[in-house]
Structure 1
Amino acid sequence: MAEQLRDFAHALLHALRNLLPIIVVVVAFQALLLREWPEGGLSMAAGLLIVALGVALFLQGLELSIFPVGKRLANQFARRGSMPILMLFGFAIGFSAVVAEPALIAVAEQASRISEGRIDALTLRLIVATSVGMVMALGVFRVILGHPLHWYMIVGYVLVVLVTFFAPEEIVGLAYDSGGVTTNIVTVPLIAALGIGLAASIRGRNPLIDGFGLVALAVMVPMISVQLYGILVYGDPGEVTAGAELVAAQHDTAPSSGLLALVFDLFGMLRDVLPILLVILFFQYAVLRRSLADPLRVGIGFGLVIVGLYAFVVGLKLGLFPIGQRMAEQLIAFDDWLWVYLFAFCIGFATTMAEPALIAVGQQAEEAAAGKIQGNAIRLLVAVGVAIGITLGVHRIISGDSIHHYIIGGYLLVILLTVLAPRYIVALAFDLGGVTTSEVTVPLVTALGIGLASQIEGRNVLIDGFGLIAFASIFPIVTVMSYAILMERVAKYRGKTT
């Protein structure tokens, strides 16, 4: 019990540390520029604490239940050496991990509310989760056969660009954001460890070249599937009224009692986590035909996951969403766009430098690269890329430009850099583009975009409010690959002059 309490305290401290850069940037702008305490500031502060508590409970539940059971299952399947079973397990783990992702839940709920029910939150989450499951199966297949990742990425992003040409503008920003939120502190280390471990166990595979890339695929494929979903949804004009009526009906039937609402919300969280539980029980009992090592511990862990998710969502509504929207309102009222750009840059840089998933992947890359890559340099490059990306995304909202042009141009640049970049950096660069968005950063950045779009005249919240996360995912790939190309050219030049 003492060990569990110590682990929980560590997780809570970890969550508070992730929030610290956001708090520092917001307080600095409030004190030095705006010089006022935000309206509802105490409620926002309470919301931030609840977010930290929810994340800590969620992570503690994962450590007690999903992680140990999942690792044991992976080891047992790896010993069997069956590709179909490994691919099926990869699909199941990818699906179940993403469908309960807190950041995805937050973005899906925002999209459903803003579209007046035309975009269904649960459907969106199931599409993204299914896409990631298919990606995990494909990634296992790629590592086993030793296919070069860059061909997968080039073909994939060409498809992304083509689908973007035909996708309705209401879905493009949301689709790219949905790809960005599939990876966080929970999924990134798990996915990266699976790829690196598999590459290390197969003769002739390089952990740096072959082991990385699963995270990149997990970001890319949902962009395609969500845009296809948008083409179907917005292809029938008659669905708007039905969606709006559905939302109105949901509001009308919502329980009025606070206690009853709490019970309904907790049951909703149980529904969110249930796919993970079903996957584990199915593979444990139906495929391996073995009982769980410690059912009580696993049960307690799942309970903590559910309560943690609930606290996280409550904290979002009280803290991170209002902060992002309120800061957008205040900075716009200041009547100088320079401060909006500066705030976007600072938030992007500060939150990324403290991103734990980025730290973990940077350390894994440094170990796998055997001296070619420094973890701290990678973090700095990625943080600068995120800051540039979010700033450019804010500029798009302010100017009212079409997101199609920015996204297509950004990924055409990525495809060009993929052709030019040294092979050892390609998989890692794409993975780093996916680790920049955590369960803390995503809600704040999403709220900032929605706040700006709702305050600037002539902007459509659904069309212009989403997309900042996409920019935060594209430009770290650009900065990391550009740095690798530059270093390779410098090394060749020095080699010629000596």
Structure 2
Amino acid sequence: MSVVITKFKEVLSSVLPITVMVLILHFTLTPIETPLVIRFLIGAAFIIIGLTIFLIGVDIGITPIGNVMGSGIAKTNKIWWVVVGGLLLGFFVSIAEPDLHILAGQVEAVTSGLISKMSIVFIVSVGIAVMLSIGFLRIVYNFPLYKLLTVLYGIILILAFFTSPEFLAISFDASGATTGALTVPFILALAMGVSSLKKDSKSSEKDSFGLVAIASTGAIISVMIMSIISRTDKITGGLPQETTDTSILGPFIHEFPKIAGEVILALLPIIIIFLLFQKFSFKLSKKTVRKLLFGVLFTFIGLVFFLVGVNAGFMDVGSAVGYSIASLDSKIYVVAIGFVLGVVTILAEPAVYVLTHQIEDVTKGYVKRKSVVITLSIGVGIAVGLSMVRILIPELKLWQYLLPGYIISIALMYFVPKLFVGIAFDSGGVASGPMTATFILAYAQGAAEAIEGANVLVDGFGMIAMVAMTPLIALQILGFIFKIKSKKGGIEINEQQS
């Protein structure tokens, strides 16, 4: 019971800031229609309940299953098993990620079916599967993470020159969307399972991070290759016109069965693979299996409540707030409020919780969860603020942010402690979860709709890419600060952080 209360308090302190922020805006700068406000508050309640249940489910079910599978694959000592295991798990976990389906659906809608939803989902999942296998091999063969990421991002930079601007935005967005609420806990657990078999604890600690980062590059590379092969120079289309639903409970009733179906689809492959492993390899006790499956059930219930709250309660408010603020005479508001929304929204991302707790656990408290969350929040706030500047100044292109940003990120890898390289690159994918993909994206699209000269399609896609990039720099800078502190304080600093 104490675990439930602790989780509930943590979730409440995460979701309250964004709720209070929207209510303050409603009573001051941007009055919102009453049905929207009520839906927003119901959505907030759904998110708090859902996130609490989801996190308990991840602890009881998803993380232990991932750990067992990761160590089971590594224990075989057969390289082909490691490769096949990575390909299978990577493909099925990615193809079922709800966030990826949301993004792929948006791509299909704005391109009027030119790019189908399932083609994006399939291509991204193939990319994730290949990179997850490579990530497993890296852990097994002790290949340095920073060298592999340098090679992978070098390939991405070369492919970027041949990719159309719209596909460039979609490819980076896909990398953020595919590392969502379900994929991240599972991949992190797989990484811990594979790396825990290492005799060297320092090496095991470093290898627990970085797998999400490697997997997410697969999404970018696969979509870029798709763009080059299909030779679609220009995506045409626009946002479909939607009528705002004025009913309060209608959107919740509409979303429940749809999202429940998506989450079942998301969890089913993991359960099937786990039960197959259990039959032929694990031989865990019936009591343990029952407990793990209970955890998966909790994950399912929590994820459904969370996603319904986000989609039915938060999205319309996001675009309404963005539109109203961008319509004000002073444009500084749209940037400043974008920054603050970025800071508070990241606190409610489910995968951020899982990653930051794992960082504290793996480093035995040396890297405090609080310092990672604060750094991540500031990084995402800057990303949203810069995205708003891009909407205000149409001459600013996405690549003018991403190119220098990734060059700085890659350069920093050679100077910061290697543990922080994995943490930073994992955080990039983690930061761009369902809250960002819905509320912040809706805010940006609402603002783009109101600002003359802004393109809703171009400025909408690319927002997730920005949110995925800034944590790479922010958390590596945090690692640099830790490095300087450690040199100054020596053992004392290490003792304080442990």
Instruction: State the TM bucket, normalised to the shorter chain.
Output: 0.7 to 0.9
State the match for 1:442 in structure 2. Answer: 437
How far apart are residue 411 of structure 1 and its match?
0.9
- Does the CA contact (< 8 Å) of 2:67 and 2:190 recur in 1? no
Q: 1:349 aligns with which of 343, 348, 366?
A: 343
How far apart are residue 439 of structure 1 and its match?
2.7
Letter in 2 for 1:347: L
State the match for 2:496 in structure 1. Answer: none
Aligned to 1:201, the other structure's residue is in SS state coil
In structure 1, C-alpha distance between the alignment counterparts of 2:409 and 2:471, rounded to whole Å = 10
Q: 2:103 aligns with which of 101, 104, 107?
A: 107
How do 1:148-297 and structure 2 match up within 5 A? Answer: 148-204=144-200, 206-233=203-230, 235=232, 270-285=264-279, 287-288=280-281, 293=286
State the match for 2:450 in structure 1. Answer: 455
Identify which range, 421-430 or 354-363, moves more after superposition. 354-363
Identify which range, 267-276 or 221-230, moves more after superposition. 267-276
In structure 2, C-alpha distance between the alignment counterparts of 1:468 and 1:45, rounded to whole Å = 25
Q: TM-score, normalised by structure 1?
A: 0.81
State the match for 2:380 in structure 1. Answer: 386
- Does the CA contact (< 8 Å) of 2:90 and 2:125 recur in 1? yes
- Residue deviations 1:266-317, cap 9 Å, x none? 65655454433443344444x5396994788887777776666665554444
- Does the CA contact (< 8 Å) of 2:47 and 2:305 recur in 1? yes
State the match for 2:249 in structure 1. Answer: none
- Residue deviations 1:314-337, cap 9 Å, x none? 444422221211111110111221
State the match for 1:122 in structure 2. Answer: 118
State the match for 2:480 in structure 1. Answer: 485
Q: 1:102 to 1:266 in 2, by over 3 A?
A: closer
- Does the CA contact (< 8 Å) of 1:208 and 1:365 recur in 2? no
How far apart are residue 189 of structure 1 and its match?
3.6
In structure 2, C-alpha distance between the alignment counterparts of 1:139 and 1:168, rounded to whole Å = 28
In structure 2, C-alpha distance between the alignment counterparts of 1:342 and 1:259, rounded to whole Å = 35
State the match for 2:131 in structure 1. Answer: 135
State the match for 1:331 in structure 2. Answer: 325
State the match for 2:495 in structure 1. Answer: none
State the match for 1:86 in structure 2. Answer: 82
Q: 2:41 aligns with which of 45, 63, 81?
A: 45
State whether structure 2 residue 334 is matched by structure 1 residue 376: no
In structure 2, C-alpha distance between the alignment counterparts of 1:291 and 1:368, rounded to whole Å = 25
Letter in 1 for 2:167: I
Q: 1:417 to 1:280 in 2, by over 3 A?
A: same
State the match for 1:251 in structure 2. Answer: none
Q: 2:418 aligns with which of 401, 418, 423?
A: 423
Query: Which ranges in structure 1 are unaligned for 5 or more consecutive residues?
Result: 248-257
How far apart are residue 392 of structure 1 and its match?
0.8
- Does the CA contact (< 8 Å) of 2:343 and 2:378 recur in 1? yes
In structure 2, C-alpha distance between the alignment counterparts of 1:380 and 1:211, rounded to whole Å = 22
Letter in 2 for 1:470: A
Q: 1:369 to 1:271 in 2, by over 3 A?
A: closer
How far apart are residue 66 of structure 1 and its match?
5.1
Letter in 2 for 1:230: S
- Does the CA contact (< 8 Å) of 1:349 and 1:384 recur in 2? yes
- Does the CA contact (< 8 Å) of 2:339 and 2:382 recur in 1? yes
In structure 2, C-alpha distance between the alignment counterparts of 1:405 and 1:22, rounded to whole Å = 30
Identify which range, 103-112 or 42-51, moves more after superposition. 42-51
Letter in 1 for 2:370: N
Q: 1:367 to 1:76 in 2, by over 3 A?
A: closer
In structure 2, C-alpha distance between the alignment counterparts of 1:406 and 1:181, rounded to whole Å = 19
How many pairs were matched up?
477
How far apart are residue 182 of structure 1 and its match?
2.6
State the match for 2:406 in structure 1. Answer: 411
- Does the CA contact (< 8 Å) of 1:219 and 1:434 recur in 2? yes
Letter in 2 for 1:361: L
- Does the CA contact (< 8 Å) of 1:164 and 1:408 recur in 2? no
Letter in 2 for 1:431: D
Q: 1:54 to 1:460 in 2, by over 3 A?
A: same
Letter in 1 for 2:152: G
CA RMSD in angstroms, aligned pairs only: 3.9
- Residue deviations 1:70-110, cap 9 Å, x none? 54444444443333323332333333333322322222222
Aligned to 2:413, the other structure's residue is in SS state helix
In structure 2, C-alpha distance between the alignment counterparts of 1:271 and 1:371, rounded to whole Å = 36
Q: 1:78 to 1:162 in 2, by over 3 A?
A: closer
How far apart are residue 143 of structure 1 and its match?
0.8
- Does the CA contact (< 8 Å) of 2:108 and 2:117 recur in 1? yes
Identify which range, 216-225 or 299-308, moves more after superposition. 299-308
Q: 1:433 to 1:265 in 2, by over 3 A?
A: closer
Q: 1:260 to 1:38 in 2, by over 3 A?
A: closer
Identify which range, 335-344 or 140-149, moves more after superposition. 335-344
Identify which range, 105-114 or 295-304, moves more after superposition. 295-304
Letter in 1 for 2:428: G
Identify which range, 299-308 or 435-444, moves more after superposition. 299-308
- Residue deviations 1:347-397, cap 9 Å, x none? 111233454544543444345456764433222222211111121122112
Q: TM-score, normalised by structure 2?
A: 0.81
- Does the CA contact (< 8 Å) of 2:62 and 2:185 recur in 1? no
- Does the CA contact (< 8 Å) of 2:338 and 2:384 recur in 1? yes
State the match for 2:246 in structure 1. Answer: none
In structure 2, C-alpha distance between the alignment counterparts of 1:469 and 1:67, rounded to whole Å = 26
State the match for 2:463 in structure 1. Answer: 468
Q: 1:462 to 1:364 in 2, by over 3 A?
A: same
How far apart are residue 154 of structure 1 and its match?
0.9
State the match for 2:142 in structure 1. Answer: 146
- Residue deviations 1:31-60, cap 9 Å, x none? 233355566322333344445555566667
- Does the CA contact (< 8 Å) of 1:353 and 1:380 recur in 2? no
Sequence identity percentage? 26
Q: 1:17 to 1:106 in 2, by over 3 A?
A: farther
How far apart are residue 410 of structure 1 and its match?
1.2
- Does the CA contact (< 8 Å) of 2:352 and 2:431 recur in 1? yes
How far apart are residue 142 of structure 1 and its match?
0.5
Aligned to 2:431, the other structure's residue is in SS state coil
Q: 1:335 to 1:233 in 2, by over 3 A?
A: farther
